Homo-oligomer: A and B are copies of this chain.
């Protein structure tokens, strides 16, 4: 897949002799994969255990392998450390047990920045240190659509600002998404006529359908090529008894987690989302989520980002397995002063991953205006948190992006991209400068401020910033007026000079003011000259 064979010149200087050898070279954070032939009889998913121990001198990593159908077994591994890695397979199958091999991990190139990790408590960085600001969108069932539609979705994403996608492993059966997928995750044993004449499929939950997972993996790799993280939703409640994938039972749920993590953990752009609306999955009691979460984390040697997403009741997001908080609650980013409250509770990044969607569905969660969706992003970002987009237009011929993918027709994506660029231009992540008192002023450091006014319209603005952590007297600043809707940035000619700070605020030494257009959704960027 991403593996490249190159000629490596290994100089073993200690012994002063040189060896020329052909070794597989894998970029750091790329995927090493090896395939073995093994038993096909019985139920290989259940009956064959497979793992491998990878070692790079001192560092040792154990990974689970998996059966990929047709007598093929696979081991995947994502190296994080440069140099030669050796592996040895352990299996209850004599054919597989004891297999060994090696490869060389080389430096990352191009778009490869490694997996995303938590940084600075509330924010993220790629493993190579580059900042990652999540600007996600929602595509619950995009990988369960006809190939043509999936290709259109990828084309849309290529031109969209989003760098994270929330997506379900299992197909979704819900209003506006009721089509059968091309692939199913389990082997179909047959069908039975239901009460209303519909066909109820009968599954063998002990046998996975490799083609389903191979397709999913292709799509995750497609996202990786676009620089997009895949926030993989492991369970969801949108089944309504149609397939029964929300009701596998605990044993099959755990089997599925083990299989999924064995297949996907080596994908560097995977995040684990234990569930969407976990509390709406009535077949799974609250206490089982602890077990499932631990199963995911324990089977993931790389400790990808991990969260659980709520319906109307929150889970215990403080549990140590969760790297960040994934919240549904539109009201948190509907106005000022709210988004920050949960951040202070959890001491970890907060992603408002479901805040209603831009669209025209009759349901109130599906008919935000573009202005509301855009403003939600600003409210979240100003507060040092992050927000996820979704689009639910049901215009004639549209596939409803939030469900199936397709084309984006809303007005918020361009504005979200505009905000993303502004954030990327800051010297670092932004947070409220005076968190309990001023919910409009964010700062990256004492040289960089962003003030968002939301719906509030002001004829003028007197230069003023919170004193806390602010610039020293005498420092000079410029101000840019940002129209977050029109996506314009207008630099003002004035130079502002910081006066001796007052008790709580900092002003210009001449108390200079600026005029503002009487429009909503303005922001100011205030930066040291």
Contact = CB atoms under 8 A, between A and B. Distances in A.
Given A316-B318, A338-B338, A338-B341, A331 B436 contact: yes
A330 B439 CA distance: 12
B344 A345 contact: no
Contacts of A314: 344-345
A504 B331 CA distance: 16
Nearest to A316: B318
Contacts of A338: 337-338, 341
Contacts of A177: none
A364 B504 CA distance: 9
Interface string A331-348: 110111110011011000
A419 to B, nearest CB: 22
A503 interface: yes
Nearest to A330: B436
A329 interface: yes
A437 interface: yes
A334 B364 CA distance: 27
Contacts of A42: none
A362 interface: yes
A436 B439 CA distance: 20
Interface string A424-442: 0000000000011101000
Nearest to A346: B345
Q: Looking at chain A, what size class is its interface with the partner chain?
A: 20 to 34
A433 B362 CA distance: 21
A337 B344 contact: no
Given A362-B503, A503-B362, A331 B337 contact: yes
A430 B341 CA distance: 22
A181 B435 CA distance: 36
A317 to B, nearest CB: 8
A341 B342 contact: yes
A93 to B, nearest CB: 46
Nearest to A438: B331
A335 B454 CA distance: 16
A437 B337 contact: no
A26 B312 CA distance: 47
Interface of A: 312-314, 316-318, 329-332, 334-338, 341-342, 344-345, 362, 364, 435-437, 439, 503-504
5 contacts: A312-B436, A330-B437, A331-B437, A338-B341, A341-B342
Given A329-B436, A338-B341, 18 more contacts: A313-B344, A314-B345, A316-B318, A317-B345, A318-B318, A329-B341, A329-B344, A330-B436, A330-B437, A331-B337, A331-B437, A332-B341, A335-B335, A337-B338, A342-B342, A342-B345, A362-B503, A364-B504
